[in-house]
């Protein structure tokens, strides 16, 4: 059996953008993970219902527009 190469770092990525393009976003004092490529929203890694996804994605999109104007 071959040995599997593992990373020695063991560090977790920090900041707003975790790996795989997921974005952390707080909405109504609840932390959500947004996947903008798939247009999906997760809460504790469980997909959120469609109606709430539309609200959260809309709020996130508005904040992105404000950030672009500020720069």
Q: Is residue 8 part of a domain?
A: no
Q: Which residues contact 16 (CB under 8 A, 6 or more apart)?
A: 23, 24
- pLDDT tens for 5-64 read 555 554 443 345 555 789 999 999 999 999 999 999 999 999 999 999 999 999 999 998
What residue numbers bound the domain in which 54 lies?
A: 19-70
Number of domains in the chain: 1
Give me the pLDDT at residue 11, please. 43
Count of residues for the chain?
A: 71
In a domain, 10, yes or no: no
pTM of this structure: 0.64
């Amino acid at each position: 059996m071959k040995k599997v190469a593992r990373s020695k770092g063991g560090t977790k990525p920090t900041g707003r953008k975790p790996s795989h393009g997921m974005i952390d976003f707080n909405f109504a004092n609840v932390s959500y993970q947004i996947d903008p490529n798939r247009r999906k929203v997760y809460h504790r890694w469980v997909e959120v219902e469609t109606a709430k996804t539309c609200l959260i994605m809309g709020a996130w999109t508005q904040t992105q527009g404000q950030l672009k104007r500020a720069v």
